[in-house]
């Protein structure tokens, strides 16, 4: 396996200096998260999974595809979209906007277009990088969904314990 973490970090840092990427922090994601921190988490998880599976990847395309996979730039609630409608439509919107701003390779386009598969059945991931981002996105989203619930449960448990266990 030849994946170079220094190249990965360098590409990630380069994108994080771009104000168009930084602006993603103004768009909310799953419970309490924002699109920038979500995309950073997905990018790091994608590289971790590549290492875990022993898959050779193109570091630059992985970082760009992962960091731009949710580049749709709207607030889901403000747009009044159902979860299903947003789920099926945002990969194409993100791909088009990201291509306009960052001039994507075909692989990068597919990473973004295919990240919600199998929900978007006609657009499967076609590379190792695209599979990694699709898997990482689901894993990170699951944690983001569960984390606030876990926090609430811990608080409730603590209140219960303080009241009932002396």
Residue 61 or 70 having the CB closest to Fe ion:
70
Residue 129 or 137 having the CB closest to Fe ion:
137
CB of 140 to Fe ion, least distance (A): 7
Residue 7 or 126 having the CB closest to Fe ion:
126
CB of 36 to Fe ion, least distance (A): 11
- Would you tell me which residues interact with Fe ion (CB under 5 A)? 70, 137
DSSP state string for the chain: ----HHHHHHHHHHHHT-HHHHGGGGSB-STT-BHHHHHHHHHHHHHHHHHHHT----HHHHHHHHHTTTTT-S-HHHHT--HHHHHHHHHHHHHHHHHHHH---HHHHHHHHTTTTTSSTTS---SHHHHHHHHHHHHHHHHHHHHHHHHHHHHHHHHHHHHH--
CB of 86 to Fe ion, least distance (A): 8
CB of 152 to Fe ion, least distance (A): 23
Residue 58 or 70 having the CB closest to Fe ion:
70
């Amino acid at each position: 396996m030849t994946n170079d973490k220094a190249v990965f970090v360098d590409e990630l840092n380069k994108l994080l200096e771009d104000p168009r990427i930084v602006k993603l922090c103004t768009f909310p994601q799953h419970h309490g998260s924002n699109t920038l921190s979500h995309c950073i988490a997905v990018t790091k998880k994608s590289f971790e999974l590549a290492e875990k599976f022993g898959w050779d990847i193109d570091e630059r395309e992985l970082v760009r595809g992962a960091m731009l996979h949710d580049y749709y730039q709207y607030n889901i609630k403000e747009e009044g979209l159902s979860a299903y409608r947003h789920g099926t439509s945002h990969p194409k919107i993100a791909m088009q906007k990201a291509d306009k701003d960052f001039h994507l390779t075909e692989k990068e386009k597919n990473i973004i277009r295919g990240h919600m598969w199998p929900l978007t059945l006609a657009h499967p991931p076609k590379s190792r990088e695209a599979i990694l981002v699709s898997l990482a996105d689901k894993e990170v989203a699951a944690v983001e969904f569960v984390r606030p619930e876990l926090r609430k449960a811990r608080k409730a448990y603590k209140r219960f314990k303080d009241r009932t266990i002396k």
